[in-house]
Amino acid sequence: MKKIFLALILTTISCLKFNSDIPSMPFINPTGNEKYLSMESDYIFDQNILHEFQLIIPEISYKMINDDPTKEEYIEGALIFEGDTISPVGIRYKGSVGAFVGCTSGKNPFEPSGRKICKKLSMKVKIDWNGRKNKFYSLDKLQFHSQNNDPSQLHERLGYWFFRSMGVAAPRSVHARLVINGELSGLYALTEQIDENFIRQNFDDTSGNLYKEVWPLTHKGIPSPKNSIIKALKTNKGINTNIDIFQSFAKTMSEASSSQAKEVITSFMDLEKIMSYIAVDRAIRNDDGVFHWYEFGQGASNHNYYWYEEPSKRKIHLIPWDLDNAFENLSSINEVTFIPDDFGEITNNCDSFPYGEFGFWQRSASCDAIINAWSAFDNEYVEKKKKLLNDHLDKAFLMVDEWKNQIESATIEANKADINSLSPNKWLRHVDILKSQLYLIKLDLSRSIED
């Protein structure tokens, strides 16, 4: 029945007459009985279920985005999930430079370009396309992450699990099979979009501002300019948005002496949560996040994070993002992401320095006044490392085994569908490597706590 229904959808699309070069999809009005209208997102992110999602994309549109995926242009398609069809939805490829490395035909890996040459690329499905009001299991967007840089296929899911287990607001992440136009695309990480729906899941006060990748202070230690803060808004967008909490934190921090800095942190941040964030981030070597200050000639800066501010509490919260490179620097060195400093250390007197075979420049994170102030909470940091070690490390091994069993058949199936995709043997080898990295985390935490 499912194959017959899919064939009917494809036939309908192929028979449509389009008025432009980019096809439009038929609008399917929900009857009101669809499960996606009444059920919550907990079903989508149920850790015990490997869901399958189907996308229907007109061939001309599919060719267009495959010819240049780095444009990240939306096209229209349909989403089918457990017998329910949503049409139209917006669909595009997504990702920064790392997401496209080795997957486009262009010759410069640092400026991806050209046609798609990998079976999988990360994709975003926009449910609230063209003003659609109906949510999909209380969600407006779905994000399918390719995991092309993670042969274990577990970095995102495990990393976010650690953060959430320690009480940090972080995206939910599971695995999913993705089928495009009737053909298996592969196994993806389905990771929660950080947006208004995420805020409702994690905070009591949902009226605040959400910012993406703007640090309160510039590399010079002065407050970030207003236009940069406004540009980073993901909720309450507009030039007249009240950004007083964020600006006040930045201004107070920039003017604080080293003895005052800790008080500023406790005033504007939830100390329990930020110490938990740091304990997890440093334990899993999330070296492509807030602690890696890349230097490309315009002043050192970091990325892969969000901020959310709660107006009623006047607190700001740091949210992790993009964990596909986490864990790897525990047992080997990624020349691009590796951070040589321990938490709180400063190299080269806060001048940028080159590192690794490629000589990429970076600056020590603790040269930033905020991060430097965090490192002064020694006792609190040790307590969070103890909690991570005693309450969650052993369970992490069990979760890895559970998830490995859950996705094994899908990994084998994806390789059969495309011989160039991740081989089961390579995958299993990297799952074992991840387990060894967990042992290294356990050993490192034990030693650091004893010290």
**Whether 137 contacts 43, CB under 8 Å:** yes
Judge whether 170 lies within some domain: no
Q: Is the same domain home to 23 and 83?
A: yes
Query: pLDDT value at position 5?
Result: 43
Query: Taking the mean position of all CA atoms in its chain, how far away is CA 267?
Result: 28
Which structural domain range is residue 27 located in? 2-146
Judge whether 182 lies within some domain: no
Q: Is the same domain home to 411 and 348?
A: no
Query: Taking the mean position of all CA atoms in its chain, how far away is CA 60?
Result: 30
pTM for the full predicted model:
0.94
Query: pLDDT value at position 297?
Result: 93
Q: What angle do CA 158, 315, 393 make, to 5 degrees?
A: 20
Q: Is the same domain home to 365 and 395?
A: no
How far is residue 239's CA from residue 230's CA, in Å, rounded to a whole number? 6
Query: pLDDT value at position 105?
Result: 85
Judge whether 43 lies within some domain: yes
Judge whether 192 lies within some domain: no
Judge whether 276 lies within some domain: yes
Q: Is the same domain home to 54 and 29?
A: yes
Express each pLDDT in 214-236 by its tens digit.
999 999 999 999 999 999 999 99
Q: Is the same domain home to 374 and 429?
A: no
How deeply is 378 buried, as exposed, middle or buried, from its count of CB atoms within 10 A (0-12, 13-18, 19+)? exposed
Express each pLDDT in 388-412 by its tens digit.
999 999 999 999 999 999 999 999 9
- Decide which of 342, 373, 388 is a domain's last residue: 388
Tokens linked to 353:
């320095």
Q: Is the same domain home to 307 and 414?
A: no
- 3-state SS string over 79-126? EEECCEEEEEEEEEECCCHHHHCCCECCCCCCCCCCCECCCCCCEEEE
Residue 242 backbone dihedrals phi, psi, to 5 degrees: -75, 110
- Decide which of 350, 373, 388 is a domain's last residue: 388
Cis omega (within 30 of 0) for bond into 23? no
How far is residue 37's CA from residue 31's CA, in Å, rounded to a whole number? 10
Tokens linked to 166:
């320690």
Total number of domains in the chain? 3
**Whether 164 contacts 172, CB under 8 Å:** yes
The letter for the amino acid at 426 is: K
Residue 183 backbone dihedrals phi, psi, to 5 degrees: -115, 135
Query: pLDDT value at position 152?
Result: 99
Tokens linked to 406:
């859950």
Q: Is the same domain home to 74 and 116?
A: yes
Q: Is the same domain home to 26 and 56?
A: yes
Judge whether 160 lies within some domain: no
Give all strands of the β-sheet with 293-295 in edge-to-edge order.
293-295, 360-363, 353-355
H or E segment to which residue 416 belongs? helix 393-417
**Whether 321 contacts 330, CB under 8 Å:** no
Q: Is the same domain home to 405 and 381?
A: no
Q: Is the same domain home to 35 and 81?
A: yes
Express each pLDDT in 46-78 by its tens digit.
999 999 999 999 999 999 999 999 999 999 999
88 CB-side CA count, 13 A: 16
Query: pLDDT value at position 21?
Result: 63
**Whether 70 contacts 104, CB under 8 Å:** yes
Alpha carbon separation from 21 to 38, 58, 154, 315 (Å, rounded): 36, 11, 39, 48
Query: pLDDT value at position 16?
Result: 44
Judge whether 154 lies within some domain: no
Q: Is the same domain home to 76 and 111?
A: yes
Q: Which residues of the chain have pLDDT under 50?
A: 1-20
Q: Is the same domain home to 265 and 367?
A: yes
Query: pLDDT value at position 98?
Result: 72
Longest alpha-carbon distance in the chain? 71
Judge whether 72 lies within some domain: yes
- Decide which of 97, 123, 146 is a domain's last residue: 146
